[in-house]
Structure 1
């Protein structure tokens, strides 16, 4: 995207959403608003009934954006800096609310004027064209845009610069042969990162009731577990996308989460919204082949995870209790899908074990955050001085999970299920080893943001978990 010396006398108008930045501030503002207070969602239809301009103004009046954290298109910004240094007049012409547009303009310091949506007029398509023609004349400006809404403006511009075009804009560009700035292609890897497919392994907990009931070879149960796994995994991915939408601002300020597909602008918000619909459709479709009890557990999971994304994750201690419960819900889902009863021992072990890992997650966040006393982690309910008590509670939960497991192993239920109960005893020290190793590495600052993901990827943890699983199966099958 190169500047040209003969352009200095012609103003350059630039669109904002999708052109200068790889996101849409209307959607981002809406997510900020709902996160601030979910009840605002019920006001959206009333604002929209008064027109798009009123909706945009209502959102902008209630939330603020951080222009420094937005995913700018580097090639476009570099071109604007070059044109600005050459003395060219640059105009930010956008359908975004004026408040947001002026914040971006002030941050970049490259624009001579701003044309944006106010409470009366939605400055898109024909209205944007009229405003630019009124200011500079037909053919008296160059224009950079990206979507079908910009086609009328392209027609009125002296020159068009098509940036990361949608289908209609790409067709227009091909017909007119104008300058273009291509967007990075959406890859399978990017979509997989959006879905967080590595997190799907957590849903293998669905098979735990079947395994503990020694029904490894029951085809009906295997099929039920597979369908439940698909249903839970696709539902979880849909919620991950929702969570990403609500955390866009926080993720962009995080050293690693800023590279997530939506935070970085690698994927568009509309793409994510369509993906949510498709994922939920697949999830519901798989659930239709399973007992009603599974559907109820799945519905409860969706409600709980949505509540977590909107509010619970910012609540002291309630957030980690919720995370532990959500792991345990996966076990309950497996029981509902297969018809296997789960024991109190299993649920108690699960709560303590996953509570410990949830506390590790918060502990790592505290360790990696630069906080002064009294300051909270962004988007969380924890302060710098909470670090030690979080570690103590987490290690206590780890030992509690091992204690529950040991008591279970010594119970009459185990003697009935396993011909050789002594073969199950190593599971208690295995659990202690895994959890205490995670805590030691966390205190050494060698832990991944998510300890469950760490365990899944760590070869030592894999080896120990495999050994424990083989012992469990062998104890059940040994004559």
Structure 2
């Protein structure tokens, strides 16, 4: 409607515009529903992965339908692009018809449309038709004619549609798309609502978690051989290889946990859950990191180190797919994954794995795994969630039992340390082994402090990473090592 001196002139009829057609994957949605459903299927039904090949053999439409109907995707937490939604709302306010035209399956498209309540019409793939590229172009032309609609998209599959549209809108284009569409259609300025940065990739790889790999050096420290430069060099190689391998695991775990992460107050901001990084890019990086880690390890370190790393990867994969949702098994496996780093150090340095290191590490890391679960459940109870924790096998009511088991495990680690001091082999390693007794109250204090902080809701990160970053823990660790140095 026209405005004259700030007032609406009712006698002038409203302007009419052609329909605005919106693509979904990579445009309105900062993700791809085919990839989303594929990851959800692998996570929920890993033993039925061969079904995917059967659907794919029947065609892409059958694949999309099979995955869409076999998985549960919560459309309310998908990473929608807020700027595109604002654009749609502005156009809708003018009375313009808004159409969702997507290659995703109709069942998902309709649920998204019902959730957002922005669209007058939904066009999507079904059993017999994959609504992408030329198929989408033909359907839109049949509805509105050539030049009878404006189209918002992002990929090379949208090029045929832009060619017959009145106006082209390009959003976060794939490489090479922007120049090609400019040569064939009338284009609005390209919208870049988000770009992946190096910081996003560092966050996805969880490089801060590489601090855990310092555990690789524990066997070298325990054997009093830190001064041997050749072994220290091997330790650095092992640290880096294990870090790259762990990053591959972290990315795969994030891809499998997209649904759960989006319901978590902090994990929903992870690069893949938020749509800052694409699932496709993650799937490329996972094997690339894995090959780099194992290729380097086989070239630079004893084969036993690679064997331990392979066991770590396999156990982590089992944890991501199933074990993390089983009560008790999840924390035991977490403790084993921490301990695997120490075993990897033993393999890298060609040392002997002692009973004392194995027993101590299992108890102390079981305690820290319990800390991690306690912190998650405490947060759920604070939010008055009384059902089973999403993606876990615990209820908020299990808090007291977890605290009891976790603190007990930590104190058992102290008892193992005390028994180690009395072992005959220990006395042969140290000049004054009785000095190590002073390390016991230090460890008792640290375990107690960690659990008290967790009980108070002040444990907001991985407890091992917390221990490495926390000033008090650093001081206790330094004095702890000092006791062993004096004893030696």
Counterpart of 2:101? 93
Let me know the Cα RMSD of the aligned residues.
Answer: 1.7
SS in 1 for 2:190: strand
Alpha carbons 1:141, 1:159 under 8 Å: kept: yes
Q: Which moved more, 1:158-167 or 1:40-49?
A: 40-49
The verdict on how the C-alpha distance between 1:204 and 1:15 changes in structure 2, with shifts beyond 3 A counting, is: same
SS in 1 for 2:272: helix
Distance 2:194 2:139 in 1: 31
Alpha carbons 1:22, 1:265 under 8 Å: kept: yes
Verify: 1:323 aligned to 2:331, yes or no: no
The verdict on how the C-alpha distance between 1:144 and 1:7 changes in structure 2, with shifts beyond 3 A counting, is: farther
SS in 1 for 2:68: helix
Counterpart of 2:189? 179
User: Unmatched 5+ residue regions in structure 1?
Assistant: none
SS in 2 for 1:448: coil
Alpha carbons 1:165, 1:183 under 8 Å: kept: no
Counterpart of 1:29? 37
Q: Which moved more, 1:453-462 or 1:168-177?
A: 168-177
Alpha carbons 2:152, 2:171 under 8 Å: kept: yes
Counterpart of 1:336? 347
Distance 2:212 2:388 in 1: 29
Scaled by the length of structure 1, the TM-score of the pair is 0.95
Alpha carbons 2:162, 2:181 under 8 Å: kept: no
List per-residue Cα deviations over 1:75-133 (Å, max 9, x = no partner): 10011112222211111111111111111111011111111111111111111111111
Superposed displacement of residue 453, structure 1: 2.2
Superposed displacement of residue 436, structure 1: 1.0
Alpha carbons 1:232, 1:298 under 8 Å: kept: yes
Verify: 1:437 aligned to 2:445, yes or no: no
Alignment of 1:61-80 (within 5 A): 61-80=69-88
Distance 1:31 1:73 in 2: 21
Counterpart of 1:247? 257
List per-residue Cα deviations over 1:410-430 (Å, max 9, x = no partner): 221221111221332222222
Verify: 1:271 aligned to 2:265, yes or no: no
Counterpart of 2:416? 404
Verify: 1:287 aligned to 2:289, yes or no: no
User: Unmatched 5+ residue regions in structure 2?
Assistant: 1-12
SS in 2 for 1:190: helix
The verdict on how the C-alpha distance between 1:473 and 1:276 changes in structure 2, with shifts beyond 3 A counting, is: farther
Counterpart of 1:155? 163
Distance 1:64 1:13 in 2: 27
Verify: 1:199 aligned to 2:190, yes or no: no
Distance 2:275 2:152 in 1: 18
Alpha carbons 1:208, 1:331 under 8 Å: kept: yes
Distance 2:481 2:85 in 1: 54
- For residue 56 of structure 1, the aligned residue among 64, 82, 105 is 64
The verdict on how the C-alpha distance between 1:432 and 1:173 changes in structure 2, with shifts beyond 3 A counting, is: farther
Alpha carbons 2:312, 2:340 under 8 Å: kept: yes
Distance 1:124 1:473 in 2: 68
Q: Which moved more, 1:11-20 or 1:452-461?
A: 452-461
Counterpart of 1:211? 221
Counterpart of 1:471? 483
Alignment of 1:457-468 (within 5 A): 457-468=469-480
Q: Which moved more, 1:318-327 or 1:180-189?
A: 180-189
Alignment of 1:135-150 (within 5 A): 135-150=143-158
SS in 1 for 2:17: coil
Counterpart of 2:466? 454
Q: Which moved more, 1:222-231 or 1:368-377?
A: 368-377
Distance 1:214 1:174 in 2: 67
- For residue 360 of structure 2, the aligned residue among 340, 349, 368 is 349
Alpha carbons 1:363, 1:387 under 8 Å: kept: yes
Alpha carbons 1:209, 1:334 under 8 Å: kept: yes
SS in 1 for 2:273: helix
Distance 1:19 1:207 in 2: 47
